[in-house]
Amino acid sequence: MARKRRGRPVHGWFILDKPLGMTSTQAVGKVRRGFDAAKAGHAGTLDPLASGILPIAMGEATKVVAMAMDGAKAYRFAIHWGEERDTDDAEGQIVAESGERPTQAQIEAALPQFTGEIEQVPPAYSAIKVNGARAYDLARGGESSELAARLIRIDELRLLECPEPDHAVLEMICGKGAYVRGVARDLGRLLGCYGHVSELRRTRVGDFDESMAISLDKLEDMGHKKALDDLLLPVEAALADIPALAVTGPEAERLRFGQAIRVPHGVEGTVYATTDGRPVALAEIHAGEVRPVRVFNL
């Protein structure tokens, strides 16, 4: 007999401004306990040394986490020149050093090589699986693993400032799977000066941005469950780029039971079906037939 899940049936998105020094899993745990939610997960890991946007899905919103993660992400970060580290950030051990420092013009001239679709080798300390084990677990255990280069997309990479010779501050907008730490490492190598990420903040995930973000301090100060629930964004907030399909009550019932319905030809692909303004299911339309993929129990 399945064990009954503890907590309330809370459904929606909480956009956390994750503080430094906390893992994404720890952050999800704090938010879940704050809401007393039965189920929660996050859309895109942030390292402990990174702050910023961490969308946390609760209840039925966990069914669309993958779609939130597929959205574009924006980062603001600082590169410390002169040192490459095994983690590609300030937490790791120095593995290479240089006395060279790039000029602003040299940095800007190199950036076009990191935009568009490019190949990137993920950092050794990453969540990529190697023969069933996480790369960071292997690295921490002293095992070296050759990670294959992957095709990623970087839509924009621009230099914001060079506050002093040892540091540069940049902004990046990218697709899923791109590592800021990998960009810092590879840019440092290209410029002949080495580099690693010394500060990192995520400012956007899909349609979730800093204007929606709430700190843990505010979450803890509010305390009252009703007040917290008012901070939630609806499940469909992660589906802004997916067409909505209005269906009747009887059609909604068919979809909820995993049955297909028919609509006039013209619309093809992924949609989310709604009735009375509430999401019913993610679905695929082909040749006028709507087949549910994920059903929402709302």
Per-residue pLDDT tens over the stretch 112-142: 999 999 999 888 765 565 555 555 554 455 5
Band (1; pLDDT cuts 50, 70, 90): very low
Q: How many CB atoms lie within 10 A of CB 152?
A: 20
Q: What are the boundaries of each domain within the chain?
A: 12-71+207-237, 73-202, 242-295
Residue 225 has pLDDT above 80, yes or no: no
Task: Give the tens place of pLDDT for each residue, 278-289.
Answer: 999 999 999 889
C-beta separation of 266 from 285 below 8 A = no
DSSP 64: G
Tell which phi-psi region holds residue 23, choosing left (phi > 0), alpha (psi between -120 and 50) or beta: beta
- CATH fold group of domain 12-71+207-237: Pseudouridine synthase (3.30.2350)
Band (201; pLDDT cuts 50, 70, 90): very high
Question: What is the percent of the chain with per-residue pLDDT over 90, rounded to a whole number?
Answer: 67
User: Residues 285, 288, 292, 297: what is their CA dihedral angle, to the nearest 10 degrees?
Assistant: 110
- CATH fold group of domain 242-295: 2.30.130
Instruction: Give catalytic residues, as residue numbers.
Output: 47
CATH dotted code for 73-202: 3.30.2350.10
User: Residues 95, 101, 107, 113: what is their CA dihedral angle, to the nearest 10 degrees?
Assistant: -40
SS3 189: helix
Task: Give the tens place of pLDDT for each residue, 13-51.
Answer: 999 999 999 999 999 999 999 999 999 999 988 989 999
- Characterize the bridge pairing of strands 150-164 and 208-209: unpaired
Report residue 253 CA to chain centroid gap: 33
Highest mean pLDDT among 40-49, 181-190, 220-229, 262-271: 181-190
